[in-house]
Structure 1
């Protein structure tokens, strides 16, 4: 890409080949707008500063810069893309955590807005810039620490470490990271039993780490009303998608049933039909369990899975079409075989 190509990408200009230059200009008719989003879940309700660059002169150049930064972010060792990625990482270590481990969460104070330093939320390149800045900072921070955590994963400015040492060594580590940078400071929550990270509650148990859905105290579950003018498939999708999310996060059937029951009550209070909600939840669980089983069994054909009730298949094998009611039990057996092998 030469200098002219870069300028055209930034300015949104189209110059086709041929006679003369026909310019398709992007109108920047407004300045960036500054406003605050109150954090009602925190004491004294501090404001989250936003500088919205939509339609401003810096919108295109921010998008251009982000196109180069974003591919680098996913290569950061501590990078967490979303809840699904976090659960996948947690699943790999949940049986390796010592009983004495301390569960910790760190939150970076004022990462996006530091008066004359840093970047404000509201421009496209801000999350990538913040991620790369934190990656460089944490590399130096961890390499110089007297003790390191067993796990250090980060979603932009929210960090999930697991500490394998004692309380004194953790306090020493917290003092170290809070004195490392002149403006970047960390607030912390820690527990020997349970912490909340993203929309997940992580709890230590005899069988490793257990995960459950976490909702902030300010969450009033104001789902779309059933008499909304939205298309019917949008309203049905609420129960389906939320059931998928609950099934993904809840690591035990007991927790899943409890959260599913709560979801139905919330939806019914918004005017949705309980039978319809139950049907969509059942469809979501069947779909999620099927995908899980395909993964565990090496993407085998779900219409032909070994079973105790045979019909004649290829050669001497006996196969049947899967009854969806058998899927949860089959997944448990597959998981048990996986744990035995590992």
Structure 2
């Protein structure tokens, strides 16, 4: 039987393809995803590059290099990995995977923070290091650090973890809801202090051999000190902090914050009813007056010159991650928080994805609303909003109603449980 030839079908019309090509060739504009909200931002390229250079001209964080350092950096990483294999720390399979022979050069770009300023948005710096010389070493190190992060006292895994903790709270009149955002955490962690924090956490891990601990620390040092990238054919080195984009950055930041938290929560057990943190986003419940809270928050900003907090508080309601948290009586309730800059970025039903996968999108979002909403009335309001968004994207109303009714009948307690996942090895 002859093999059937299956032709490729483009799901864009000829006019759409021509318009897309025209946009790609237009050097006067730069198109990037928004930092938050899921939208697309079209910027004047001159303005985009001005903001990029404003970020890169910070002498405390970046330094401009005279030449492309790729060859020297590759040699350092290859030597590090070869020595790891010779010492028996890496097996042959790991060594071959981690040693990239033809790496890509990391590149710099920034995401426009339109939620801060929609006209002249500041940028969130990102280093794209896909297939760079450090990318797989960073992945290897992250697999070692992640289990340690999960054991730290105040680490918050995700929204579900936050809801589980909030469900335990018996609310009182003298409690205050507090959120804090750590300003530019990734780029503000000093290499020396960050390394000391990692070393301290590794010392408590009895199941990690001493030689692997040393190898891990050496790898982190190598990544931090050789965090170079290109922008507009120029090369730069980030000399402070870690790049947003490298795999181990969240674990590095989490463990640094964990060390800081051990100092700031001392002797405050009577005031801090709840303290949780998702990387650089902190949630607290404070017992006492606002004056004492302000004094405490001001003290936090003096504990470490590299950690500065932007704080918000309210006795009744506050937004945290994708939750709006509010009190009624002696209970805390939650519902989904929709940012003002959120856009309808759901994939259109006519997209050339698998039909089963597309139909699963509304269900996953209805489940999210079911999980986040303590009250049925909020679930109904927010699922109506979702329905409108999915109708705009071509989904069938009857299927949406059927999915909503299916989720509505579920016991919410089942949505507040984690499903077991099998961890994949490197």
From 1, 5, 13, the counterpart of 2:96: 13
Aligned partner (choices 125, 134, 147) of residue 71 of structure 1: 147
Structure 2 residue corresponding to 1:237, chosen from 347, 360, 368: 360
Deviations 1:152-171 (A, max 9, x none): 10000100001111011001
1:103, distance to aligned residue in structure 2 (A): 0.7
- Structure 1 contact 240–283 (Cα < 8 Å) conserved: no
Q: Given the alignment of the two structures, is residue 137 of structure 1 paired with residue 211 of structure 2, yes or no?
A: no
1:174 pairs with one of 297, 312, 331: 297
Q: Residue 132 of structure 2: SS of its match in structure 1?
A: coil
Query: C-alpha separation between the residues in 2 aligned to 1:263 and 1:128?
Result: 34
Structure 2 length-normalised TM: 0.62
Alpha-carbon distance, 1:186 to partner: 0.2
Could you tell me how far apart the structure 2 residues matched to 1:154 and 1:289 are? 24
How has the CA–CA distance of structure 1 residues 174 and 219 changed in structure 2, closer, same or farther, with 3 Å as cutoff? Answer: same
Distance (whole Å) between structure 2 residues aligned to residue 28 and residue 144 of structure 1: 53
Corresponding position: 1:282 with 2:356: no
Q: Does 1:98 align with 2:172?
A: yes
| Corresponding residue number in structure 2 for 1:86 | 162
Contact 1:107/1:188 (<8 A) preserved: yes
Q: Name the TM-score, length of structure 1 as normaliser.
A: 0.76
Q: Is the 8 A contact 1:236 1:277 kept in 2?
A: no
Cross-structure match for 1:60: 136
Offset from partner CA, 1:199-253 (integer Å, 9 cap, x none)? 0000111141110110110101221112222222122112111110000000001
Segments of structure 2 that go 5 or more residues without pairing to the other structure are 1-83, 189-237, 418-426
Q: Which residue number corresponds to residue 196 of structure 1?
A: 319
Q: Rate the CA distance shift 1:140–1:2 in 2: closer, same or farther, 3 A.
A: farther
Instruction: Tell me which residue corresponds to 1:335.
Output: none
1:71-90 CA-to-partner distances (Å, cap 9, x unmatched) read 10111111110111111111
In the other structure, the counterpart of 1:29 is 103
Residue deviations 1:138-159, cap 9 Å, x none?
A: 1112226697421110000100
Report how far residue 116 of structure 1 moved. 3.4
Query: CA shift at 1:284, angstroms?
Result: 2.8
Paired position in structure 2 for 1:160:
283
**RMSD across aligned C-alpha pairs, in angstroms?**
2.5
Alignment-derived partner of residue 324 in structure 1? none
Structure 1 residue 120: Cα displacement: 1.6
> Alpha-carbon deviation of 1:97?
2.1
> Are 2:364 and 1:247 equivalent residues in the alignment?
no
Change (3 A) 1:250 1:13: same
Give the aligned length: 283
Distance in 1, matches of 2:270 and 2:309, equals 17
| Matched-pair contact (CA < 8 Å) for 2:158–2:278 | yes
Q: Give the match for residue 30 of structure 2.
A: none
| 5+ long unaligned stretches in structure 1 | 15-23, 296-342
Distance 1:25 1:204 in 2: 53
Indicate how the Cα distance of structure 1 residues 249 and 146 shifts in structure 2: closer, same or farther if over 3 A, else same.
closer
Equivalent residue number for residue 87 of structure 2: 4
